[in-house]
A and B are shown apart, each in its own frame.
Chain A
Amino acid sequence: MANTVWKAKRRNLAPWLFLAPGLIMFIVYVIIPIFQSMWISFYDWDGLGEKTWLGLANYVELLDDDAFYTSLKNNVIWLVLYMLALPAGLFIAIFLNQSIRGMRLYKSLFFFPFVISQVVVGLMFSWFYAPNFGLFYNLIESFTGQGIAILADDRFVTYGIIVAGLWPQIAYVMILYLTGLNNVAPDQIEAARLDGAKGWKMLWYVVLPQLRPATFIAVVVTVIGALRSFDLVSVMTDGGPYGSSRVLSFYMYEQALSEYGYRMGYGAAIAVVLFAIMMVFISGFIWKMWRDERGR
């Protein structure tokens, strides 16, 4: 009797012993800092000295900050244009979903951009866009007679960076869809073919519904990727020209940790706004997962 009680106890304790190391690390480095950042956003702090309580002053200042609105606007542009990765990735996946010789190699070469660091991607595209000799610059010049220095032009700079970001993102979405296409039920396709479905109709009514799980993951990673964009902005333009390519993640970094000043509190306030935007999407994602877990 005593033995079984002990065993049951041990079994109740076991999960927590297994969880402890990972959970503690995660709480210390991820969960607690989220709340600390929220707390710091109410202070004026240079990161070293005394903190001064400001209440909501950092947030009030944000409301009046043009650079904040520029970043916010750019984040929206990123979010919208990044969604192009979905149709583009699907298109390439369909294009490559054949079994000719060497197809495996082709598929992995198409996936290449995703494996490369965004720093490297940023440098590659800077070279592509470079005024006077860049391939893209020359291309525009040969069409219009005048080249455009994309990264130095505040009208185009954000779009130029987004194109660079789309390159690996499309590759990622492509691989998700390729895997999804592998699992599309062949008998349904055949049945639909016998009914005379083909092309667009087949794609829309038969294939896409079966690709729903892939589409869901693709949307999640694309939204997260768009809102997290930092590396490319930092490497390609450093937020310029005149701050026109800033996004929230970059502006936060600039305020908190660059030569423009060590305004940790103000930076934290920007981070909280970004976090709040992201939480809308994360909650939706978790909500769906929760339902799936309950459902099975």
Chain B
Amino acid sequence: MFPRPIEQTSPASQWLYKIAVPVALVVWLLPLLGVALTSIRPATDLAQGNYFGIPSAIALENYVQIFTESPIAGYMLNSFKVTVPTVIGAVALSCMTGFALAIYGFRLNLIVFFMFVAGNFVPFQILMVPVRDLTLKMGMYNSWTGLAMFHIAFQTGFCTLFMRNFIKALPYELIEAARVEGVTEWQIFWHVVLPLMRPAIAALSVLIFTFIWNDYFWATVLTTSAESQPITAGLSSLNGQWIAQWHLVSAGSILAALPPVLMFFLMQRHFIAGLTLGAVK
């Protein structure tokens, strides 16, 4: 193990380490802690210049206020409307593409695979004008469907990379054995491979959920009004309205951050497995 396990060092340095870790954590998360604290700070504190001190009272009414005086609940709902179909769509499509690329040795295999991989890394701006135009033409501009359609298509690139590598690592004998039994290709996919893909599906689902929930660029390009904007775009426009009302901005920020954070905590192992794919081979 590197570095040397702390248990093998002197008691003094063990102590030091056990103090250093939480201290470092507090410093590291200072921006977040500041915002969390401000989100429960009464407006009067800010007026009196108490921006970073201890709040004089716990003002949960900030949260009530943003729910009653801003369309934030609608923004959150829009985010779910975009995110959930995207997760389902991208994962479903990539299960199939990943299966095709991992199992069959056809001639264009690597070309198609690298097309997915490369496409996944292009800057969004090169897609912006045509995708906006396409969405307009399909009558999906400024709607969650238009946003979800693009996200499904784009995320399929990353998901294919992931799924293909995952299936490639499964024992190929399973497929051969099934073929000898005379099972159709679809049944192999459905009954043999898909059940083994559960961990990959879980990992991708949490990852894609977070990516899409946090997307801001496409939200600003493909939606314009509060009826269809997700929370990231909504929060940014609320920030323009709530000038100097940092307690409200903070409460909104915490709210926007909550779903992906919860998702991460519930599915931590899968999340990290998805993110570090390829980093450890």
Residues of A within 8 A of B (CB): 10-12, 14-16, 18-19, 21-23, 25-26, 28-34, 36-37, 40, 47, 94-100, 103, 106, 108-113, 115-121, 123-125, 127-128, 133-135, 138, 167, 172, 175-176, 179-184, 186, 189, 193, 198, 202-203, 206-207, 213-214, 217-218, 224, 227-228, 230-231, 234-235, 248-249, 252-253, 256-257, 264, 267-268, 270-272, 274-275, 278, 281-282, 285-286, 289-290, 293
Contacts and interface: CB of A to CB of B under 8 A. Distances in A.
B134 A29 contact: yes
Interface stretch (B54-62, B65-73, B197-205, B248-256): B248-256
8 contacts: A26-B154, A33-B126, A99-B5, A111-B272, A120-B35, A121-B31, A267-B128, A275-B123
A97 B256 contact: no
A97 B130 CA distance: 46
- Those 3 A-B pairs whose CB atoms lie nearest each other, nearest first: A29-B153, A33-B130, A117-B214
Contact of B122 (A28, A235, A253, A275): A275
B118 interface: yes
Given A100-B21, A123-B235, A290-B114, 20 more contacts: A14-B104, A16-B100, A18-B96, A18-B97, A26-B116, A40-B130, A47-B133, A95-B21, A98-B6, A103-B21, A110-B25, A124-B32, A189-B1, A189-B2, A214-B279, A218-B279, A267-B125, A271-B126, A282-B121, A289-B114
A37 B153 CA distance: 18
Contacts of B124: 228, 230, 249
Nearest to B264: A115
Contacts of B116: 26
A253 B128 contact: yes
A12 B153 CA distance: 25
Interface string B226-248: 00000010011001000000100
Nearest to A29: B153
Interface in B3-31: 3-6, 17-18, 21-22, 24-25, 28-31
A127 B246 contact: yes
Contact of B216 (A26, A117, A227, A248): A117
B171 interface: no
- Chain A interface SS verdict (over half): helix
Interface string B104-127: 101001101011111101111111
A127 B34 contact: yes
Contacts of B77: none
Contacts of B21: 95-96, 100, 103, 106
Contacts of B32: 112-113, 116, 124
Contacts of A186: 1
Contacts of A167: 31
B126 A203 contact: no
B176 interface: no
A118 B93 contact: no
B264 A22 contact: no
B185 A119 contact: no
Most buried by A among B119, B122, B127: B122
A214 B277 CA distance: 9
Given A124-B32, A231-B216, A31 B279 contact: no
A14 to B, nearest CB: 4
B119 to A, nearest CB: 4
Contact of B94 (A22, A30, A100): A22
A108 B265 contact: yes
Given A100-B6, A127-B35, A213-B279, A110 B28 contact: yes
Contacts of A184: 1-2
Contacts of A218: 279
Contacts of B152: 25
A286 B276 CA distance: 18
B99 interface: yes
A233 to B, nearest CB: 11
Interface in B37-87: 38, 49, 51-52
B275 interface: yes
A211 to B, nearest CB: 9
Contact of A176 (B127, B150, B276): B276
Contacts of B22: 106
A29 B236 contact: no
A179 B185 contact: no
A116 B149 contact: no
A256 B128 contact: yes
B143 interface: no
Contacts of B100: 14-16, 18-19
Contact of B235 (A36, A120, A256): A120
Contact of B119 (A31, A234, A267): A31
A149 to B, nearest CB: 15
B221 to A, nearest CB: 7
B250 A37 contact: no
B121 A29 contact: no
A117 B118 CA distance: 24
Nearest to A117: B214
A260 B218 CA distance: 19
